[in-house]
Structure 1
């Protein structure tokens, strides 16, 4: 342990960021936007995802001002985009992220990305090298034309050939130049021209169009067919501003189909033709040299950016934006809680309100009242039955019943029942009670 250097967390994140930025540098990728946030500083923060993964991204305001998307330049969640970005690491959190430098709609942008990827791949294989290119013959008798037999390009080529040098023969190798099966047709036509050996040079091309229209001439199979051709090939695809991979691999590139016809049909001095050929080669050489120098410049600029104060400032700005977002979320949460607290207190107050207890007590009183009434009625009915029973028992032992059978009760003046002669004397007044009344009598 004493012999090992123990890294601090900040040292580790700095080393990882340097490795990511120096090794991967700039990448192209496509994905769906999610979690998009436009910070108050003007920076954009978002995630790019596909069906399996997602990565956090930041796009600083200096770059996002140039974004022109189909929805007025403002990205939206769920939108598919193509981006060019630098791979980096956000050191304060240790999060892997992309710093987006360019953003555009997927679609044509995806084709452009595929174009750049295939161009770099084929260039690395040496297919665009000048050492492989064949010289265009000085004296051309027969020209092969690989294009659509009904297109405007073949008419332009034949018209220029007829005007400049009617002695040149033209052989058309018909092929589709647009659509799904165009690349197979073009490859077949090139192979057919090479097997027949009928011409001195081939013109492969078509008229102008969109990047999608010209895409067959960017297919790897077509580039390979041109590269393998034993016949010299002049690429004449689109207009002057259009550049396809076929232009890079061809032995010579013409700005238009008409220009290609002019190159093979010389009506001026041979020196002019050589100058034009040299010009084209020089343009390609300058373009390649310019691309190499630009790549070196970007690499040096990237290394310089690692120690530039602006890089640290951007990191601090990103941290500031993140803290601002977190503060905004915390404030919103507190506002929601402060809004909900009176409602919760009101609900608790309602639960503790005496009105609710009074209502419950009133309900209980009514229940007790009903039970009391029922109990009283029950008790009264029971007592009535018991009273009737007592009356019946009393009647069974009542002297009145005995009197009703012919007996009587004799009472003294003190209302005492006389049941012995010893209780009376001569001339005492007595009362004899019978069934229907009483008789006053005197003892004789």
Structure 2
């Protein structure tokens, strides 16, 4: 016998409850990119489906209070991005995702990757204001990292020439779009630091889509900006465009032209200082808000697990499942009864007088057909026998002898003459041939 402490003995309900508490407490909300399958929109308004990739799958539920905000109708095989909480459906012991947000994959995936990278780099301190380098009070030489043929370098040079023609400019050419762009931007930053020939670096390019600006979200570029000994001003895209380089750089300008104005206004020290402090405050607030948001998310997840609405939603899911099982059972029962009724109907037809009459008619038809067949066989047999007798009769018939060139002589009494002594000279004879007769008179006997 094993001595097991009573407090280590779990029933299934307690075990599932503990597992649910551990999962929901440790994971919180997660973003998942996957393909929809087995999508069911229940009559209660809730959605149930499975998210899968090439190797795994997980069941999901999205209650009607959440799915009303979805701007498209999910379809099986559709790639989606969902934001969900990991939970356990205790009646079956299945772990599942409770989906709060659903978007079509694409831009949503890039945005999720951006947010994830932003959180990771912020946690590493790359956005911290204490690492921001102030812009020099007197800027004499500016380094510009951009495409030498793009519109951004033209705008920057135009503004610098207008505001301070004495400023020296060094252009460090690099691609600003495509797979090779991030590597070339990192090389340009390292080259500028190695030469140490400028007072400040301006990292810039014109506007574009999120995919066009994606090279400025590269983590290696973020580390290159963070490790740069030269202060860097990030001016990527338009004012509404935000990239990782904006957060990690020492200063962010809304446009390339605005960056040129900031770098060239060296005599407005106070304005620059205020702008820098504002930017640092913004970064600090963003990092702090993100920290508070994570704490709030965890507390919200824990609170939600005890929320009566959540319990009711789970019970609604269970009711939907029972309703589905009941419907299937009723359909199976109806199908069984229909088969049994069909079988009894067939048995009844077999005992019906009309069926018996039809059966006897079929039997009579079979007998009639057999009688006709027997008659035809008998007639054919008699016909063959008759034809055989005819052939035998023909073989002994005098007519057959006549057909071979012989003839028969008859006297006036039609007696066959077989001997010359049967007639006298002067008697009339009839000679039968195969075709016709000859009449002659005996003129001489031999």
TM over 0.5: yes
C-alpha deviation, 1:243, in angstroms? 1.6
How is 1:38-49 mapped onto 2 (pairs within 5 angstroms)? Answer: 38-49=41-52
Match of 1:358 in 2: 360
C-alpha deviation, 1:278, in angstroms? 0.6
CA distance 1:354–1:191, change in 2 (3 Å) = farther
Q: Which has the higher contact order (CA 8 A, sep 6+)?
A: 2
Match of 1:393 in 2: none
2:140 matches 1:132: no
Distance 2:357 2:172 in 1: 99
CA distance 1:168–1:350, change in 2 (3 Å) = farther
Provide the aligned C-alpha RMSD in A.
Answer: 2.8
Asked if structure 2 preserves the Cα contact closer than 8 Å seen for 1:164 and 1:267, the reply is no
Distance 1:27 1:359 in 2: 78
C-alpha deviation, 1:335, in angstroms? 4.9
2:107 matches 1:108: yes
Distance 1:125 1:351 in 2: 86
3-state secondary structure, aligned to 2:77: coil
How is 1:67-86 mapped onto 2 (pairs within 5 angstroms)? Answer: 67-68=70-71, 73-86=72-85
C-alpha deviation, 1:189, in angstroms? 1.8
Match of 1:320 in 2: 319
Distance 1:228 1:362 in 2: 107
CA distance 1:184–1:379, change in 2 (3 Å) = closer
Asked if structure 2 preserves the Cα contact closer than 8 Å seen for 1:165 and 1:267, the reply is no
Asked if structure 2 preserves the Cα contact closer than 8 Å seen for 1:26 and 1:85, the reply is yes
Q: 2:14 aligns with which of 1, 11, 14?
A: 11
Distance 1:221 1:347 in 2: 80
Asked if structure 2 preserves the Cα contact closer than 8 Å seen for 1:202 and 1:233, the reply is yes
How is 1:159-308 mapped onto 2 (pairs within 5 angstroms)? Answer: 159-266=158-265, 269-308=268-307
Match of 1:57 in 2: 60
C-alpha deviation, 1:53, in angstroms? 1.3
Match of 1:21 in 2: 24
Distance 2:380 2:41 in 1: 82
Q: What 5-or-longer segments of structure 2 have no aligned partner?
A: 384-446
Distance 2:289 2:338 in 1: 64
Distance 2:256 2:181 in 1: 18
Match of 1:32 in 2: 35
Distance 2:62 2:201 in 1: 47
Cα deviation code 1:96-133 (max 9, x no counterpart): 10011111111111112222222233233333233333
Distance 2:300 2:347 in 1: 66
Q: What 5-or-longer segments of structure 1 have no aligned partner?
A: 382-444
